[in-house]
Amino acid sequence: MATTAVKLSVLFVCLGNICRSPTAHGVFATLVDQAGYGDLIQVDSAGTGDWHLDHAPDQRTAQVAASKGYDLSELRARLVTSADFNQFDYIIAMDNANLKDLRAMQPEGYAGHLGLFLDFSEQSAVREVPDPYYGGEDGFELVFGLVEDASKGLLRHIHASHLQGTSYPAPGS
């Protein structure tokens, strides 16, 4: 069976792009590479607020990610723009406030997926990834667990929706 030419793009969005969305970016990009989909799926992250533009992820975010084997050191915060709707097939918000902001920017006719990240979670009953910025380390650990679970669910969804019947194996097989 020939390889598919499918190219997909995923953008993770939170408020400042220094805690939740870079965690999702790093975890999901790593899972994409481990599944052998690195040539098919582009991953990025952005924020709806401009307080931390060009900053590295929050130190606590980076430390928790590193303790789990993920490297976020190359990531820098950026602002989500209307042009992102032309570039990304999946625009994934961490919470309802970010989703509301994204819907306000969404151009008419956007054919991609705009929704909440935890809709892809198979283990969590909560719908939003909480912002750990003003809390302690436990909040960052919680966010990491939610993000890792939803990342696995999103990857399974993308395989089932876009890569089924190609030479690309299902994640984890």
Query: Active-site residues: which are they?
Result: 14, 20, 131
Amino acid at 30: T
Asked if 122 and 145 touch (Cβ cutoff 8 Å), the reply is no
Asked if 107 and 82 touch (Cβ cutoff 8 Å), the reply is yes
Residues contacting residue 123 through CB under 8 Å, at least 6 positions apart: 149
Distance (Å, rounded) from C-alpha 27 to C-alpha 12?
11
Q: What are phi and psi of 101, to 5 degrees?
A: -60, -40
Residues contacting residue 31 through CB under 8 Å, at least 6 positions apart: 151, 152, 155, 171
Asked if 15 and 49 touch (Cβ cutoff 8 Å), the reply is yes
User: Which residue has 């929704």 as its token pair?
Assistant: 115
The tokens describing 42, both together, are 């582009």
